[in-house]
Amino acid sequence: MSLLGDEPVNPIPSKEDFLIREIVLTHDPDDRGLDSELLLHLVESTFCSTTENVFGAQFDAIGTNNVDLTGSEEPISLIIYKISNEMLSQCFEDQNLHRKTLALLEMLTHYRWDAKVVLALASFARSFRLFWLILQLQPDNSLAVLLATFKRLPKAVSLLKPKLKALNLLINTMIKLTKIVISFEGMSLQHELVDDKTMDITKSKIYMATYWIFRSILVCSSQIADLRNLRLEQCMFFPFI
């Protein structure tokens, strides 16, 4: 029994509660719709093609134009291009990672949670595929050598393997989380299937998952940008986030 009698005492908000509030404030969805599952399939194919040295996945305007997008005046390829550029620009800003993550969430404020995470992943996949393609083609392609020199990429891919392995592990985790977000958003009659308390808890987990996917994508983008400035003798494994 509390000092105030039988009235319940409101718990002090935790850091996670404050973070969730910040995340929710970036969310203002409208009628925009996106086939998240199809776009995620394309993203997965892109990552698989790079890590397995198979360049069959066409992650470009042709591939993305097959993904249904409604309620937006811009084509999906242009949206992905803009997000990718924003990620790159944030790599060189002094703002802390948390603020960068919220800013990226703000950029996708009008999309549902599943669309946010898939568009962010697609934008990162675009940059990652170009980075990986140049690295793989360097030994045999003079144009790739010139591009690698221009982008200041290390010449010895083998020295980057520990970093790339860590990146791939993080990418796989982000994809798994994204599938959970998509499954949640796609649930039919969700409010009738579970009670309000369970739904509120689940929503909070979805908000946090979305935040950490975005934050992890920014970390991955930053690591790729940093690889351009590393000398070969500096290529050592380091932790993420």
Provide φ and ψ at 138, rounded to 5°. -50, -50
- Domain segments of the chain: what residues? 34-49+72-234
Rounded Cα distance, 184 and 47, in Å: 24
Q: Which two tokens stand for residue 77?
A: 């390829």
Strands (E), 10-89: 33-34, 69-70
pLDDT value of position 233:
41
229: exposed, middle or buried (Cβ count in 10 Å: 0-12, 13-18, 19+):
exposed
Note whether 26 and 102 are within 8 A (CB): yes
CA 85 to chain centre: 13
Q: Which two tokens stand for residue 146?
A: 């010139």
Q: What is the largest distance, in Å, between two alpha-carbon atoms of the chain?
A: 79
In tens digits, what is the pLDDT along the chain, a chain of 241 residues? 444 455 455 567 788 899 999 999 999 999 898 989 999 998 988 887 655 544 444 455 446 667 878 888 888 989 999 999 999 888 877 789 999 999 999 999 999 999 999 999 999 988 887 777 666 655 554 554 555 554 555 555 566 677 778 888 888 999 999 999 999 888 744 555 566 777 888 899 999 999 999 999 999 888 877 765 554 444 444 444 4
* CA-based torsion, 198, 216, 213, 133: positive or negative: negative
Count of CB atoms situated within 10 Å of the CB of 82 = 13
Best CA proximity match to 208, nearest among 18, 63, 56 = 18
Number of helices (H) and strands (E) in the chain: give both, helices first: 10, 2
pLDDT value of position 69:
84
pLDDT value of position 214:
97
172 Cβ contact partners less than 8 Å away, ≥ 6 residues apart = none
